[in-house]
Every structure is written in structure tokens, then in C-alpha cells.
Amino acid sequence: MRLLVVEDEDRVASFLVKGLRAHGYDVEWLSNGRDALRRVLDPGISLVILDLGLPDLDGLEVLESLRERGCAVPVLVLSARGRVDDRVKGLDLGADDYLAKPFAFEELLARVRANLRPRAESAPGVLRAGSISVDQVRREVTVDGRTFVLSAREFSLLKAFLDHPGRILSRPELLSMAWGMNFDPGTNLVDVYVGYLRRKLGDAFIETVRGAGYRLRADGQPSAHG
């Protein structure tokens, strides 16, 4: 597993690189956003540990650009911006996890393992619902001959729908199934990721049931949503 640490503070970067290598990870280090963006879009990176306060591009710009380009590499944000609204914004833009500085290295290791686990341990096989086909190993979704790569959270959210075909799922249920959150963080996280899936699947596949939640329409027939 090759990890990319994107951090402009030498002291913090050295601590991360040495600690991760001591636990058996192959680690690269970059100190600016533009180089990181180019590197992550090349093959070989399994996880990005991303600081936000970079000298050229803000880390959130890097994150947003990666997701807009269809890059599904897991991203763990590691930042001194630890307020709830900062964490929510990072998750909304496509981060798979968010850890505020200062942090315990043991917790960082646990989060690295957790964010590598879905890809490493995904059960083989293909999930299907109507014209939607999902490769669980590659995290690819195919709809009417078009194939898209899903981020880890997009995959988890779509799998929640596929596991409950035709059922209306509330936002709290989706937060629990896709994010493991047993509380509502007061964000539109679910709505944002439903939007991401709609852009890939097509607007008609996920129906908004007003006042109740969302439902997967595997037939892809037009449905009203807001």
C-alpha cells in the first residue's frame, strides 16, 4: 500500500512519514497542492493524507478537483481546522475521513486502516438492479453501457440503496448505513452525495420522497425530485 502525505510543515510531515513507514507502509511526501494533484491522478496511490493549509492551493481545492475528475482514491484530511463546519465542508467535498490536529498517532493509524479496508476487503461479485450494475471490487458502476468509478462514500451510499431496492430510506438511515453515523451532524451530507450519484447514474434513478427520504428507482423512469 502506497500512501501519499501532502503536508507543508516539515516537522509534521517527517513525523507522519517515519511513523507510517515504521508500520509497514510505503509513503511518499509532497508539500504543495499542485504536485499532489498531479501525483494522485497517476496510478499507484492507495490513500492520501491531506493537509488543508498548503502554500499554493488550499487542500479543499485539491480535494474538490480530484473528485470532479472522477478520482476515487480515499482521502483522509488532516488539518488544524477542526471545527464542526470545517469537518462538514471537507466531507461534503468528498473526503472519506477528517482528523483534526493535534491528533493521536494511534488514531491516525486506525483511520488509515479503516479507509484502506473497503477496497482491500470488498466481497467479489457484481450487484445489479435494473440497468444498474456495480462491480464491488473495482467500485465501478455501469448504467446503459456507461461506466463510472465511485468514491468510497459514493459506493457505500449506492450499496445502501441496492441492499434495499424500492424502499424509502431516511437521511438518518443513510447516514448510518453509508457513514456509520448514529447521529445527524446537522449537514446536508446525504443530499450532496445523492447529487454525486445522480450525476453518474442519471437524475431519474434516485427519487426524492418529500418529507421521508430517498428511494432507488432501478427502472430509471422519470421521477420528481428536488
- Average pLDDT in the 88-109 region? 85
Rounded CA separation 169/160 (Å):
9
Residue 64 is placed in which grid cell? 474538490
Which band of pLDDT confidence, cut at 50, 70 and 90, is reported for residue 4? very high
Residues 116 and 142 placed together within one structural domain of the fold:
no
111/197 same-domain check = no
Print the domain residue range for 105.
2-121
Buried b (16+ CB within 10 A) or exposed e, 110-120: ebbeebbebbe
User: Could you tell me whether strands 206-209 and 213-216 are parallel, antiparallel, or unpaired per DSSP bridges?
Assistant: antiparallel
One domain, residues 115 and 137: no
The residue among 87, 121, 155 that closes a domain is 121
CA angle 191, 148, 214 (to 5 degrees): 25
- Is the same domain home to 30 and 106? yes
Chosen domain end from 69, 102, 121? 121
Report the C-alpha gap between 138 and 114 in whole angstroms. Answer: 17
Tell me: do 113 and 58 sit in the same domain. Answer: yes
**Residue 47 and residue 94 in one domain:** yes
Using the 3D structure, point to which of 78, 98, 121 is the last residue of a domain: 121
Task: Pick from 119-128, 142-151, 194-203 the range whose average pLDDT is largest.
Answer: 194-203
Question: Which residue in this structure is represented by grid cell 423512469?
Answer: 221
* Nearest-angstrom CA–CA distance, 52 and 7: 8
Provide the pLDDT confidence category of residue 122 given band limits of 50, 70 and 90.
Answer: very low
Q: 114 and 36 in one domain?
A: yes
CA dihedral of residues 38, 40, 44, 50 (deg, nearest 10): 140
Residue 226: inside a domain: no
Decide if 45 is inside a domain.
yes
Q: Tell me, what's the pLDDT at 218?
A: 66
Range 36-52 average pLDDT: 91
Name 72's Cβ contacts closer than 8 Å, sequence gap at least 6. Answer: 139, 149, 150, 151, 152, 154
